[in-house]
Amino acid sequence: MTRALITGVGAITPIGLTAHDFWTNLTAGVSGVTKITRFDTSDMSVSIAAEVNDFDPGAYMDPKDARRMGRFAQFAVAAARMAADDAGLVLTDDERPRAASSIATGSGGAIETMDEMEVLLKRGPSRVSPFYIPIMAPNMGACQVSMNLGLRGPALASVAACASGLYSFIEAKALIDAGLADVVLAGGTEAALHRLPIAALANMRALSRRNDEPERASRPFDLNRDGFVFGEGAVVVVVESEGRARARNARVYAELAGGALTCDAYHITAPREDGTGAEAAMTGALAAAGMSLTDIDYVVAHGTGTPLNDATETLAIKLAFGDHARKLAISSPKSMIGHLLGAAGAVGGLAAIFAVHHDLVPPTINLETPDPACDLDYTPGKARKMVVRAATANGFGFGGQNGCVVFRKYQP
């Protein structure tokens, strides 16, 4: 079985329009949460989000191609192009059938669906865009990346709510393990910032209402957390077979060592209270990677900042890691960039990759008052310089979707 290596990274996030800017700001504790500027929130109970601003699709792709894409696909193509450039990826025509994409999303072209529905209702069916279906379809993140980079192998698009991004990494590794691909552009993308999802999640009591202090609203593991902050963006990485990467002497950030997926089979939104669904994903990921729990130094938590998630995740980490749980550095990128939903798992993966590569653990910001139910080391406030031999990234989604992926330092 060949190994799967990370050789390139790309990102469009609320705190940076490149993977490296994202990492610089993430480790500096910079918040990307602000008042919502994209639409009127005067009648809404939640008026904050982590927006991607100053994104110009024309900087990454033909403006005409960009017009035929949803914002989520534009993010994916931009991040994928940056990842391919970062990897120095050059594909010959012979290699293209063995080059794949695996781009997850939570909701595809949700913004465009809502906007086009307005066209239908206000101006009638004759005015509806002929591009609406290929703009909205959730597979289009993957297909547009494949089209843009000429990847003619499988184009996979996992839909697993807020665990989606992790599914994409696991599928990428599966393609490489099975010998079906040598290169996979893998990641997640989400652009659903619109009145409808904000209203629905607010009514679900899932979102923070700390509207007057946007930067302090996302506070995973803090006693006074009151929900997550809605975000948007994309992360795409190049996953490459060891053989191909070594043959071209590629720079390697980390090895994608393995991962596992489970389902709570329990409730539409709440996690299984005993934490066993999430625990099974973590222990499964370690088993898939052939690693023991003491090999892990850092856990990128799902850490949404909802009362339920953070307590249950803490319990699950303790179940999975036993005594080693107290030795782990843990942190939640969502404290800074909010919850990128279908891209959140990919963001967590990128944080794990960089932590392993740089031996640096980003902080959990806004963790000011400890919660007795969350009593592990969440790296509060400040980044920590430490050796990170291996890191896991957690992701949990509505429907009981659980994912965990392990990245480790690459040892040839």
Residues annotated catalytic, as ranges: 162, 302, 339
| Nearest distance in Å: CB 68, other proteins | 8
| Shortest distance, position 200 Cβ to other proteins, whole Å | 30
Q: Which is nearer to other proteins, 10 or 109 (CB)?
A: 109
Q: How far is the CB of 133 from other proteins (least distance, A)?
A: 10
Q: By CB under 8 A, how many residues form the interface with other proteins?
A: 11
* Beta bridge partner(s), residue 68: none
CB of 128 to other proteins, least distance (A): 8
Regarding 122 and contact with other proteins (CB under 8 A), the answer is no
- Min dist CB 98 to other proteins, Å, is 29
**Helix (H), strand (E), coil (C) string for the chain:** CCCEEEEEEEEEECCECCHHHHHHHHHCCCCCCEECCCCCCCCCCCCEEECCCCCCHHHCCCHHHHHCCCHHHHHHHHHHHHHHHHHCCCCCCCCHHHEEEEEEECCCCHHHHHHHHHHHHHHCHHHCCCCHHHHHCCCHHHHHHHHHHCCCCCEECCCECECHHHHHHHHHHHHHHCCCCCEEEEEEEECCCCHHHHHHHHHCCCECCCCCCHHHHCCCCECCCCCECEECEEEEEEEEEHHHHHHCCCCCCEEEEEEEEEECCCCCCCCCCCCHHHHHHHHHHHHHHCCCHHHCCEEECCCCCCHHHHHHHHHHHHHHHHHHHHHCEEECCHHHHCECHHHHHHHHHHHHHHHHHHCEECCECCCCCEECCECCCCCECCCEECCCCEEEEEEEECCCEEEEEEEECCCC
Q: Which stretch binds other proteins (CB under 8 A): 57-65, 75-83, 182-190, 350-358?
A: 57-65
Q: Given the rule CB under 8 A, which of 123-131, 308-316, 359-367, 369-377 is the region that contacts other proteins?
A: 123-131
In angstroms, give the least distance from the CB of 123 to other proteins. 8
Least Å distance between CB 145 and other proteins?
20
- Report, in Å, the least distance between residue 134 CB and other proteins: 8
**Residue with Cβ nearer other proteins (118 or 212):** 118
Q: Looking at this protein, which amino acid is placed at residue 288?
A: A
Among 127, 248, 251, 267, binds other proteins (CB under 8 A): 127
From candidates 42, 92, 126, 411, binder to other proteins by CB under 8 A: 126
Q: Which residue in 90, 93, 130, 265 binds other proteins (CB under 8 A)?
A: 130
* Chain position carrying tokens 């994209």: 38
64, 92, 94, 121: which one binds other proteins (CB under 8 A): 64
Cα separation, 225 vs 219, whole angstroms: 5
Given the rule CB under 8 A, which of 91-99, 120-128, 167-175, 368-376 is the region that contacts other proteins? Answer: 120-128
At a CB cut-off of 8 Å and minimum separation 6, what does 121 contact?
none
Within 13 Å and on the Cβ side, how many CA atoms surround 8?
Answer: 25
63 lies in the site for other proteins, by CB under 8 A: yes
Question: Per CB under 8 A, does 179 bind other proteins?
Answer: no
Pick the piece of the chain touching other proteins (CB under 8 A) from 96-104, 128-136, 362-370, 377-385.
Answer: 128-136
Q: Is 115 in the site for other proteins (CB under 8 A)?
A: no
Nearer to other proteins by Cβ, of 129 and 211: the residue is 129
Contacting residue, 30, 55, 120, 129, with other proteins by CB under 8 A? 129
Question: What is the length of the chain?
Answer: 412
Q: Which of 42, 64 has the CB closer to other proteins?
A: 64
Among 96-104, 119-127, 365-373, 386-394, the segment contacting other proteins (CB under 8 A):
119-127
67 part of the interface to other proteins, by CB under 8 A:
yes
Interface positions, 90-109, toward other proteins (CB under 8 A): none
CA-nearest of 392, 286, 285 to 331 is 392
Provide the token pair at 47. Answer: 């008026």
Binding interface with other proteins (CB under 8 A)? 62-64, 67-68, 123, 126-127, 129-131
